[in-house]
Amino acid sequence: MRAGATTELPASAAPTSVVPDHSSKTGFWTLTLGSVGVVYGDIGTSPLYALKESLHAATGGSGHQSLTREMVFGVVSLILWALILIVTIKYVLVVLRADNNGEGGTLSLVALAQRALGHQGGAVILIGMAGAALFYGDAIITPAISVLSAVEGLKLVTPAFGPYVLPLSIAILVGLFAVQSYGTARVATFFGPITALWFVVMGLGGLSHISEDWSILGAFNPAYGIGFILSHGTAGFLALGAVFLAVTGAEALYADMGHFGRTPIRTAWFALILPALALNYLGQGAMLLAHPEHLENPFFLLYPSWALLPMVLLATVATIIASQAVITGTFSITQQAMHLGLLPRLRVLRTSETEKGQIYIPLVNWWLLVAVVFLVVLFKSSSELAAAYGIAVTGDMVITSCLLFIVGWKAWRWSPLVVALVIAPFLLIELVFLSANALKVLQGGWLPLTVGAGLVFLMWTWRTGSRVLTEEVHRARLPLSEFMKKAEVGSVQRVPGSAVFLTGTPGDTPGALLHNVKHNGVLHAHNMVLTVHTEDVPRITDGERVTVERLSDAFSCVSVRFGFMELPDLPRALAQAGLDTDNLSYFLTRRVLVASPETGMPVWQDRLYIALARTAADASRHFRIPVDRAVEIGAQISI
């Protein structure tokens, strides 16, 4: 597309997303194996602590002396049916249908719901903020509890390792976050095989103990779980909250759909993950029926003493992989939130030349490390952290169900009754789990709630402040059509070459253009007023990315579209559209923000927005504009 052309999409046309063709790029089984490592890493570490913590809650913390057969049958039954109802039916069979042009995750679901509701989607954004914020809470807790639970197995090898559990866990976590800048592309090739080995060993460990009490197979009868809850009062309800630890990580099924595809994820679940998890939990239950004294750490005690140290090492590697998946997910959801206008644009680095999803956000990485280490030092053990874990995940799942109802009703055009019949059972179960976890607010559940509330407020402040800033900029700007008339008939000196002026309001004259004429007294031979749009689809095809409208001999309006999963690269986009980018100069406005009581937000919130704005990456760096081609012109704006 040449600069002189006029190419516009029809007003009703939606941008087309580029959907990855998983079958042609990589073999089906390679994708399936890859999904085992990335998608199921988190849920695969749950057997380390889920059954143990559930039974500790059921016994009131009094240990194996109070453990009964009814407790073991009830808790194992609840775990099995949580895996069947929440993970298998809801996520694997239903939620994976809600893809946004091949991509998944809470914010993808928000984009689908908002597109279906149109201008009535304000509440959906708020729900999406809450979901994203709870994901961050989950991302802080997952590395801490996973690594701690694995390293605590060293105490079974010899009690002498006890004092070293905490410092060793911190050292592993620091090392994990320190290598993030190198990317996970190379390491990820080992994630699938190692995690697959972990699931096989887990399944074999459980299978070897089921023969100790074959009656444990009766736990597939849901009556055991229901009877346990009804007969154990508060203790049963507390145990129910801990049971949910068995399904933490299920949300990764949806979040990572764009990387692996729906069918490989489903195949991995039914062929390996679900059987291995079921066998392990059944094996732990059978062992505890025969040896209640093993309640201290039933997972590692499934294995003979000679295998303890290898299992601790394998578990540690598995928890690092699980933590890696959550960290990578945090980078992805941050990128989505930035593009959807919920967070400032932060510095995003690519860590792979070939994989689009391989990104690294330094600020998020180091803040996440600080938060994770703080949790390890504060709670000191996986058992203490367990109370904080469930509430973030259950809250996120409840939000997913609410958004799925909107998508099913408005986007899929199902009748409200049909959607309610499909979603309501899951929502009811998750609300029961959420209520059970709410009982643990004082024991640690306050942590993800506090983190979530703080992040929702920050996102709301950024979104509101950005809207106020746009209104202020628009109010002070000269319409572009009026500026063109004055510039073209005036005596402004023309200089050869082409210039790009970035703006967020296409009909207004960019501040950099006004100040360039006012202070330098020159106008380029060709001036492109460029606006970047982030669409509610993951990726845009190259043919629809750039639209150029010629306004006059000297002025053009350029619109560049990116999907919310893409890293914006303006020079590359313009070059792909056929524009001559060799001698382009890019003019940007450097805004100095000043708090004002007259713009709609309280002054203290203005100052918070200004502080957030200072963390934002430079526009030139964010849009990949070469440093020697960028010209910034300052302007002071009151908000």
- Residue pair 197/36 in contact by the 8 Å Cβ criterion: no
How far apart CA 523 and CA 509 sit, in angstroms, is: 13
β-bridge pairing 349-350 and 359-360:
antiparallel
Of 311, 307, 327, 420, residue with least CA distance to 367: 327
Domain limits for position 492: 478-638
* Same-domain pairing of 542 and 430: no
Of 369, 400, 385, residue with least CA distance to 446: 385
Kindly report the length of the chain. 639
In a domain, 8, yes or no: no
In a domain, 514, yes or no: yes
Of 61, 379, 74, 353, residue with least CA distance to 231: 74
The C-alpha torsion from 531 through 535 and 538 to 542, rounded to 10°, is -50
* Same-domain pairing of 514 and 440: no
Q: Which two tokens stand for residue 147?
A: 């690594």
Q: What's the start-to-end Cα distance of the chain, in Å?
A: 39
Helix, strand, coil tally for the chain in percent (to 5): 65, 10, 20
Q: Which two tokens stand for residue 174?
A: 């620091």
Please give the C-alpha separations between residue 144 and each of 238, 384, 397, 619, in angstroms, as whole numbers. 22, 11, 21, 35
In a domain, 292, yes or no: yes
542-560: pLDDT as tens digits: 888 999 999 888 899 999 9
In a domain, 308, yes or no: yes
Looking at residue 107, what is its pLDDT?
82
* Same-domain pairing of 192 and 321: yes
From 440, 463, 486, give the residue that closes a domain: 463
How far apart CA 347 and CA 335 sit, in angstroms, is: 10
Three-point CA angle 89, 93, 95, nearest 5°: 95
Full strand arrangement of the beta sheet holding 630-638: 546-550, 555-563, 522-535, 493-502, 584-594, 630-638
In a domain, 10, yes or no: no
How far apart CA 591 and CA 639 sit, in angstroms, is: 11
Looking at residue 60, what is its pLDDT?
79
* Same-domain pairing of 503 and 434: no
* Same-domain pairing of 85 and 228: yes
Residue 105 DSSP one-character state = S
* Same-domain pairing of 205 and 313: yes
Looking at residue 228, what is its pLDDT?
93
Q: Which two tokens stand for residue 84?
A: 């069947």
* Same-domain pairing of 556 and 622: yes
How far apart CA 414 and CA 430 sit, in angstroms, is: 22
| Helix, strand, or coil (residue 394) | helix
The C-alpha torsion from 163 through 169 and 171 to 176, rounded to 10°, is 170
- Residue pair 359/628 in contact by the 8 Å Cβ criterion: no
Question: Cα 321 to the chain's mean position, in Å?
Answer: 16
* Same-domain pairing of 444 and 386: yes
Q: What's 458-471 look like in SS3?
A: HHHHHHHHHHHHHH
* Same-domain pairing of 412 and 298: yes
| Helix, strand, or coil (residue 509) | coil
Of 44, 141, 133, residue with least CA distance to 388: 141
Looking at residue 357, what is its pLDDT?
56
Please give the C-alpha separations between residue 223 and each of 22, 73, 137, 227, 228, in angstroms, as whole numbers. 42, 10, 34, 6, 8
How far apart CA 211 and CA 191 sit, in angstroms, is: 32
Query: pTM to 2 decimals?
Result: 0.78
In a domain, 16, yes or no: no
How far apart CA 110 and CA 94 sit, in angstroms, is: 17
Rounded to 10 deg, the angle between the 382-406 and 233-243 helix axes is 80
In a domain, 5, yes or no: no
* Same-domain pairing of 193 and 161: yes
The C-alpha torsion from 571 through 573 and 579 to 583, rounded to 10°, is 0
- Residue pair 503/477 in contact by the 8 Å Cβ criterion: no
Please give the C-alpha separations between residue 482 and each of 496, 503, 512, 552, in angstroms, as whole numbers. 23, 16, 16, 13
- Residue pair 242/46 in contact by the 8 Å Cβ criterion: no
* Same-domain pairing of 415 and 344: yes
How far apart CA 288 and CA 583 sit, in angstroms, is: 74
- Residue pair 349/359 in contact by the 8 Å Cβ criterion: yes
Residue 522 CB contacts under 8 Å (≥ 6 apart), including other chains: 492, 493, 494, 495, 516
Output Rg (C-alpha) for the chain, integer angstroms: 27
Of 534, 536, 562, 547, residue with least CA distance to 356: 562
Q: How many domains does the chain have?
A: 2
CATH for 449: 1.20.1740.10
How far apart CA 475 and CA 266 sit, in angstroms, is: 52
Which residues in the chain come in under a pLDDT of 50? 1-25, 354
Beta strands in 341-423 (DSSP E): 349-350, 359-360
Three-point CA angle 607, 611, 616, nearest 5°: 140
How far apart CA 101 and CA 115 sit, in angstroms, is: 13
In a domain, 17, yes or no: no
Q: Which two tokens stand for residue 303?
A: 């294995």
Q: Which two tokens stand for residue 384?
A: 């203490």
Q: Is 519 exposed, middle or buried (0-12, 13-18, 19+ CB in 10 A)?
A: exposed
Query: Which amino acid is it at 595?
Result: A
309-349: pLDDT as tens digits: 899 899 988 888 888 778 877 888 888 888 888 899 888 87
* Same-domain pairing of 434 and 486: no
How far apart CA 130 and CA 544 sit, in angstroms, is: 32
- Listing DSSP states for 233-246 in one string gives HHHHHHHHHHHGGG
Query: Which amino acid is it at 199?
Result: F
Residue 98 DSSP one-character state = -
Q: Which two tokens stand for residue 167?
A: 């410092």
User: Which uninterrupted H or E stretch holds 208?
Assistant: helix 185-210
Query: Which amino acid is it at 596?
Result: S
